[in-house]
């Protein structure tokens, strides 16, 4: 549970450890958590609720019902098997029949071919901050506030990915959501969220991410005290794969996102709600609903490893060169989701925050490059100015470069780095940015390109590159060589 640390807790300007906190969460977070990525965990809301030595007793403690949830096939290898046993007041199967309900028209889940609704983009895109709707205009909760930007693949073939944003102004009232298509990785950008899952609460605020796996029920509430204008963030949805920690290789046993810093909820139950509940199920991007008299958040105890979790990005342990050259951005990978191609991940989730740059005899900014991967970037907090990458790169917006699209920074500060006196310096101060690198090129929705109303550029203006003229053609030594070869 959070408590006020001895120093001002402002991780926008430094690493988590500078706050000298003696607890694992921020002061606003009221919940207790279990620690350890990839672990088997167990939790009881009431002591003695977990059966000992077996999973399904003839009669469970306190008259509870045992229910298994599997996230992988029964015969999956032990290293990949994911499953839970839940001990709840009533089984989840106690509900009405499924009914088709109106879809969220801005969610898309099928990205197999370009069409009048899906568009390939060969260049670069940038969006200004996505707008949070005012309550006076419409009440928008999480089920209605998800908007798809783009994706690749399709959930019913268990292959692919989708990038969404969410902008909401209301909590979910007696409503839960379940994504049967894939996993959600949620990035908080504006406002604080209280996410109630079947396995307990996750408190999420800007600079934190959480993962809610396929098939698990949850509800998203806005913490009004810290969310006067509502809440905004990003969702990376993956189909047919799970998020993993990247291999450390020569880095050794520690670094990047350390397993102990991933937090898992503890068992909790809803004892305050009344009246019927609605469970909204997303299947192939379409919405269906069931109703039930009991709360879906009635799990008194659980054990397993198919558990939602969160991670504070300010705990990330950066690594970089201490000699020469700019290190590839993959060194900042927090989580990775594998594809069928062992050499090309479906998605790497990377971050860039405050850190040191000490490279000598080096052009320190990112080199100009063409990547086989597509790149999607969003700023969680920081300055409104892009720094030459695109016209607008403000917190709450985004930018995108298609695979093999040439790109790089071209502002005066970047070009000036070719001539600056190189000393150890802090970079990324007062900002936090995440990047998604994917082996897939995305197809973008009409909402992303038109209806969002915040697309500001479909390419970087040609005039931007006036700062990188042809210097070779004016280099006297080069001209001398060319003349000697009769090539001048």
Please identify which residue in the block is written with the tokens 């809440």: 231
Give the pLDDT confidence of 336-393 residue by residue, as tens digits: 999 988 889 999 999 999 999 999 988 888 888 888 899 999 999 988 765 545 456 8
User: 175-208: per-residue pLDDT in tens?
Assistant: 999 999 999 999 999 999 999 999 999 999 999 9
Query: How many angstroms separate the CA atoms of 306 and 82, rounded?
Result: 5
pLDDT (mean) for 309-313:
97
Question: pLDDT band at residue 468, thresholds of 50, 70 and 90?
Answer: confident
- What is the pLDDT at residue 391? 53
Is pLDDT above 90 for 462? no
Q: How confident is the model at residue 3 (pLDDT cuts 50, 70, 90)?
A: very low
Question: How far apart (Å, rounded) are the C-alpha atoms in residues 355 and 161?
Answer: 30
Describe the strand order of the beta sheet including 200-204 as a list of residue ranges. 99-100, 286-292, 277-283, 175-179, 217-222, 193-197, 200-204
Q: Report residue 297's pLDDT band, with 50, 70 and 90 as the boundaries.
A: very high
Per-position b or e across 123-151, b if 16+ CB within 10 A of its CB: ebbbbbbbebbeeeeeebbbbbbbbbbbb
Contact present, 160 and 438 (Cβ < 8 Å)? no
Closest among 216, 215, 260, 346 to 333, alpha carbons compared = 346
Backbone angles phi, psi at 158, to 5 degrees: 50, 50
Q: Tokens 């709707």: give the residue.
A: 133
Mean pLDDT of 410-438: 88
CA atoms within 13 A on the CB side of 282: 27
pLDDT exceeds 50 at position 400: yes
pLDDT (tens digit, 9 = 90+) per residue, 258-288?
A: 999 999 999 999 999 988 999 999 999 999 9
Mean pLDDT of 33-58: 97
What confidence score (pLDDT) does residue 459 get? 77
Nearest to 336 by CA among 350, 353, 317: 350
Q: What's the token pair of residue 259?
A: 């397993």
- Would the pLDDT of 4 be above 50? no
Nearest residue to 26 (alpha-carbon basis) of 276, 228, 206, 248: 206
- What is the mean pLDDT of the segment spanning 7-24? 78
């Amino acid at each position: 549970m959070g408590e006020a640390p001895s120093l001002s807790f402002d991780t926008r300007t430094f690493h988590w450890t500078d706050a000298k906190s003696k607890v694992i969460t921020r002061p606003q977070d009221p919940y207790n958590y279990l620690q350890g990525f990839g672990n088997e965990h167990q939790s009881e809301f009431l002591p003695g609720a977990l059966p000992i030595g077996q999973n399904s007793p003839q009669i469970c403690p306190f008259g509870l019902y045992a229910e298994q949830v599997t996230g992988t096939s029964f015969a999956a290898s032990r290293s990949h098997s994911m499953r839970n046993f839940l001990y709840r007041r009533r089984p989840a199967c106690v509900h009405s029949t499924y009914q088709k309900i109106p879809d969220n028209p801005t969610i898309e889940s099928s990205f197999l071919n370009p069409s009048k609704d899906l568009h390939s983009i060969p260049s670069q895109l940038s969006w200004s901050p996505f707008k949070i709707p005012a309550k006076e205009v419409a009440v928008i909760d999480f089920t209605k506030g998800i908007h798809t930007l783009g994706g690749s693949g399709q959930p019913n073939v268990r292959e692919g990915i989708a990038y969404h944003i969410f902008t909401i102004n209301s909590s979910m009232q007696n409503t839960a959501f379940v994504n049967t298509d894939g996993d959600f990785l949620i990035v908080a950008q504006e406002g604080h969220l209280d996410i109630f899952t079947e396995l307990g609460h996750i408190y999420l605020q800007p600079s934190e991410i959480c993962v809610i796996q396929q098939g698990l029920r949850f509800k998203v509430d806005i913490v009004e005290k810290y969310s006067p204008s509502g809440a905004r963030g990003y969702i990376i949805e993956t189909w047919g794969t799970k998020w993993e920690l990247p291999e450390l290789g020569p880095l050794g046993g520690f670094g990047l996102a350390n397993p102990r810093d991933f937090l898992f909820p503890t068992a909790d139950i809803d004892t305050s709600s009344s009246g019927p509940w609605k469970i909204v199920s997303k299947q192939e991007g379409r919405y269906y609903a069931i109703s039930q008299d009991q709360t879906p958040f009635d799990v008194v105890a659980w054990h397993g490893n198919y558990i939602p979790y969160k991670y504070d990005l300010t705990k990330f342990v950066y690594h970089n060169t201490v000699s020469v050259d700019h290190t590839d951005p993959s060194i900042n990978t927090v989580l990775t989701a594998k594809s069928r191609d062992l050499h090309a991940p479906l998605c790497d989730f990377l971050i860039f925050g405050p850190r040191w740059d000490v490279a000598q005899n080096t052009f320190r900014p990112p080199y100009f490059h063409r990547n086989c991967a597509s790149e999607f970037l969003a700023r969680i907090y920081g300055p409104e100015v892009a720094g030459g990458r695109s016209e607008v790169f403000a917190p709450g917006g985004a930018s995108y470069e298609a695979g093999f699209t040439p790109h790089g920074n071209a502002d005066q500060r970047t070009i000036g780095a070719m001539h600056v006196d190189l000393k150890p310096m802090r970079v990324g101060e007062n900002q936090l940015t995440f990047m998604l690198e994917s082996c897939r090129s995305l197809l973008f929705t009409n909402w992303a390109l038109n209806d969002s109303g915040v697309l500001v550029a479909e390419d970087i203006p040609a005039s931007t590159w006036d700062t990188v003229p042809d210097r070779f053609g004016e280099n006297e030594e080069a001209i001398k060589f060319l003349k000697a070869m009769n090539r001048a």
